[in-house]
Amino acid sequence: MAVTPQVEKPGRTSLGSKLVAEDQRGDKIEPLVRGGRPEQGMPAFSLGDADLAAIVAFIHDQKTKAEALGGGRRGLGNRRCRGRTPLF
């Protein structure tokens, strides 16, 4: 039986965040992932350098793709409604 985690507040995408926009090769994202934000319910993660670099690359790739779509979150929602594959 699968267990669904309970979330106090639904998450939101951080692709448009200032932190991601200012990040240069993980200099902002890596400390956040390693240290977490316990006060906001995000735990710290102990990941190897290669895994963390892959996560940073993925976030930046998804940000680039989302920006290319235009329209912000509403634009992504409209694409889902038309039966296209969501970006994430």
Whether the per-residue pLDDT at 33 is higher than 50: the answer is yes
pTM for this entry: 0.61
Q: pLDDT confidence of 87, banded at 50, 70, 90?
A: very low
State the CB neighbour count (10 A cutoff) for residue 15: 19
- Domains of the chain: which residue ranges? 18-37+44-81
DSSP state at residue 38: G
pLDDT in tens, 38-86: 998 999 999 999 999 999 999 999 888 888 887 655 555 544 445 555 4
Q: What is the DSSP secondary-structure string of 4-29?
A: PPP-SS-----TTSHHHHH-STTTTH
For 44, phi then psi, to 5°, come to -80, 150
Q: Which of 18, 17, 25, 20 is nearest to 53 (CA)?
A: 25
* pLDDT in the model for residue 10: 45
